[in-house]
A = this chain, B = another copy of it.
Amino acid sequence: MITPVILCGGNGTRLWPRSRAVKPKPFLPLVGDETLFEAALSRAGDRSMFNAPMIVTGKGHLCHVEAQLTGAQDAKVLVEPAARNTAAAIALAALRLPEEAVMLVCPSDHHIGDAGGFIRAAQEAALLARQGWLVAFGIVATAPETGFGYVKRGEAIPGSGGYKVDRFVEKPDLERAMQFLGEGTYSWNGGIFAFRAGDYLRELDQHRPDIAAAVREAVARGTEEGRCFHPDATLFGAVPSESIDYAVMEKTAHAAVVPATMAWSDIGNWHALWEARDTDENGNCVIGQAELVNCRNVLVESDGAHVSLIGLQDTIVVVDGGDVMVTSVSEVQKVGKLRGAVHQ
């Protein structure tokens, strides 16, 4: 059995103004009818393979989690009083589980088009986790993306579909990304990990004892409230903020990677969302009321206003409440830097 640990949060800048700090990406129905969070729960919904999920979320987003948990009423919710990055969030979950529990850590701000591919990779990863490995999903790279970290695989681990990790690589420039794509031994690090709770805590104790100790204290003084667990706010606020990649995965001698082919997208910007969605014969995708005249490869999303577009190509138009955002696809990465996105 595998225990899904679903991380929910985000600051809602890159898909602004649709996603916002008060309601970031996981809680929006960005692809299809389900929200990304609901889809993450659904993917791990088979109770013959997965235990009840453990949700880690910020207290500001608890309302969204509660509202969208209908498909997983058996879930436990760990409420972070403040965001202290993934090393702490995962430690929090690990400390609330038996040492032998195999955790499958899943961010909920990603879209996975092929749930079967996800399940196959999860089973492979769980197998290795039970042997003591800390396993990263290596998402088969399909483009020289410069926005992701990469994992380079080393030698194969006998009797499994996995590999030892040769090394983790931070976001590369385009030249290196193209080189990685050509070599074939690099895959994207999508932030999905599997390991036993005890193994993760042991590695964290070894490489970042400060984080491990601080989370332990916050949990020891925490309080339970129905299905929610609240670590002590003051103590948790004092936990050093670090990613699992820096704190553990890049340092452990037991890192493994399993290849995952599952139509994954981090939906890291509006163009990625356009790519994940169905489009019409002109490449346009419309959500909301809109009239498009002579437009190609346009994404329109409006929560109310009627949108009329003439003669646009490769353009994103988003209306959300009192905000209208229009960007060319080629400069879509600048959305998160807009004043409206930064000063929410």
Query: Chain A interface (Cβ within 8 Å of chain B)?
Result: 17, 291, 293-294, 302, 304-312, 315, 317, 319, 322-328, 330-332, 334-335, 337-340
Contact = CB atoms under 8 A, between A and B. Distances in A.
A309 B327 contact: yes
A311 B324 contact: no
A323 B340 contact: no
A227 to B, nearest CB: 39
A293 B331 contact: yes
B311 A328 contact: yes
A304 B324 CA distance: 10
A148 B238 CA distance: 72
B334 A310 contact: yes
Contact of A311 (B311, B330, B340): B330
Contacts of A330: 311
Contacts of A332: 310
A266 B197 CA distance: 73
Contact of A324 (B294, B315, B324): B324
B305 A324 contact: yes
> Oligomeric state, in number of copies?
2
Contacts of A322: 304-306
10 contacts: A291-B339, A308-B324, A308-B326, A310-B325, A310-B327, A310-B332, A311-B331, A311-B334, A312-B326, A317-B324
Contacts of A328: 310-312
B311 A323 contact: no
Nearest to A338: B308
Contacts of A326: 307-310, 312, 315, 317, 326
A9 to B, nearest CB: 24
Nearest to A339: B291
Contacts of A311: 327-328, 330-331, 334
Contacts of A307: 324-326
A308 B323 contact: yes
Nearest to A298: B326
Given A291-B338, A291-B339, A319 B310 contact: no
Interface centre among A317, A324, A327 (most CB of B within 10 A): A324
A304, A305, A308: residue with the most chain B Cβ atoms closer than 10 Å? A308
A315 B307 CA distance: 15
A304 to B, nearest CB: 7
Nearest to A330: B311
A83 B313 CA distance: 39
Given A291-B338, A312-B327, 7 more contacts: A17-B308, A293-B338, A308-B325, A310-B334, A310-B335, A310-B338, A317-B324
Nearest to A328: B311
Contacts of A337: 293
A307 B326 CA distance: 8
Contact of A323 (B305, B323, B334, B338): B305
A289 B105 CA distance: 42
The 5 closest A-B pairs by CB, nearest first: A311-B331, A311-B328, A310-B327, A308-B325, A307-B324
Contacts of A302: 324
